[in-house]
Amino acid sequence: MALLNLFGKKKKEFKAFCTITREPLEQGFGYLLTTAQIISSKKYWDWIMTEPEMLSYTISHFNNQPGGTQMRHMIFEKYASVAKPWMVSDSVINYFEVDKIVARDGAKKWWASEGNYVPQTTGTTTQPSDEGNFKTWKEYAVLEAGRSRAVASHR
């Protein structure tokens, strides 16, 4: 029997990483969010648009330079077009106004299915059923996110 195990394929351990920070997630932990939940967070957009790699575009945007605004638009579209659910770590969950119990339950289902569980409301938000909210989120992300930090950094 031991010889069989030597030559048999061992099942690879299922691993996961936070979609946002890329930090490894311990088995059974994390929160499962939809793209709509991600893009509808002002706190998240303020954080993303003032991260070091985005801050120069944000400053350019608030200085009325079209290149900065265009880059911010592209970043929003990139996030809004994610069709899969997002696994989020404890370190970033507080950027989102979600029911953490529901999000944790979704993560447990996701882990149990080895990443195959998908909530019914998962999908891109590039053509949402609630166009008014989508427009509001997009306008905030592209036009307003990070304003206070960008203006303070530019002084």
pLDDT tens per residue across span 2-42: 555 555 666 678 899 999 999 999 999 999 999 999 999 99
Please report which confidence band the pLDDT of residue 47 belongs to, taking 50, 70 and 90 as the band edges. very high
Q: Average of pLDDT values for 69-81? A: 95
pTM above 0.75, yes or no: yes
Q: Average of pLDDT values for 59-85? A: 94
59 close to 134: Cβ distance less than 8 angstroms: no
> How far is 46 from 28, CA to CA, in rounded Å?
29
DSSP structure string for 14-44: P-EE-TTT--EE-TT-SEEE-HHHHHT-HHH
DSSP tally for the chain: helices H, then strands E:
8, 4
Cβ neighbours, 10 Å, residue 28: 12
Per domain, the residue ranges of the chain are 16-154
